[in-house]
Amino acid sequence: MLIYARNSEVASNSIAPSDEQAVLLRMEEQLPPVLSVIAGMVDLTGFFMLGNIFTAHITGNLVVASALVVRGGHVNLAQLLAIPVFMIALALVWLIAEFSRRRGSSLVRLLLVLQSLLLAAVLVFCVSAKPSSNPHGMLALIAGLIAVTAMACQYALLRLALPKAISTAVMTGNLTNTVLSIMDAISLGHPLMSADDGRLRRSLYLLFGFLLGCIIAAMAISTMGEWAWSLPAALAALVVARPVMWSGRGS
């Protein structure tokens, strides 16, 4: 009986790595487009509702704040704090990942849960406090920085658990991949980019996902107000609630 148990344990351990690799490959393929929709919704909702702060395209806040300084306009404090808060949030996520001792798909699920909880916190805070009534006030600053922290979880997820995945929130690289991949595809000569048959498709999915998120958010803001935050929060919760979508296992 003991020999059988040990043999079973060895067999399960030998199968687990290949199963884990298959799950990670599936996550790298299917998860980023959904995350790009979330990023698009969060970025545009934060920009319009919380004083022109970019909550996903973090470094864009430097451009906006610098332009306002040059023109003599009012700089939103949240725009100045977004980058240091983002950096602190990334460091905290790293610590959470390190002390949780989770890796691979298990770490993906942990960071998806954190993202979902933070977006739910933004929703509850905005619906109850209505920070958009004073986009440059303290309440808007708090809401914006919570959203920035949620996006830090998404960025960290890609770098720590799915390093081969493309960025879901900064579209400049995806647009570059799309145009250069198209030029390589239609060229009669030797391709200039490294061979990657899926690069164009993945980049297009992410571009479309981010654009779709922005369009949905714009429509939601005009009809739902503060409740527009419910859409990225709901989609983030759906991703957490349906891990079968990424693991390929039955429900």
CATH code (residue 185): 1.20.1250
| Domain count along the chain | 1
- Structure token pair of residue 26: 């599936």
- Do 244 and 250 form a contact (C-beta atoms < 8 A)? yes
> Is residue 27 in a domain?
no
- Structure token pair of residue 133: 């009534």
- Do 79 and 47 form a contact (C-beta atoms < 8 A)? no
> Is residue 18 in a domain?
no
> Is residue 12 in a domain?
no
- For the chain, 251 residues long, give each residue's pLDDT as a single digit of tens: 444 444 444 443 443 567 777 777 788 888 999 999 999 999 999 999 998 899 998 888 888 888 877 877 777 889 889 999 999 999 999 999 998 887 777 888 999 999 999 999 999 999 999 999 999 999 999 999 999 999 999 999 999 888 888 888 888 888 888 888 888 878 777 777 666 667 788 889 999 999 999 999 999 999 999 999 999 999 999 999 875 455 555 44
> Is residue 83 in a domain?
yes
> Is residue 151 in a domain?
yes
pTM: 0.85
> Is residue 5 in a domain?
no
Which structural domain, as residue segments, surrounds residue 113? 34-243
Q: How many Cβ atoms from other residues are within 10 Å of residue 172's Cβ?
A: 9
Q: Estimate the crossing angle of helix 138-160 against helix 77-100, to 10 degrees.
A: 40
> Is residue 9 in a domain?
no
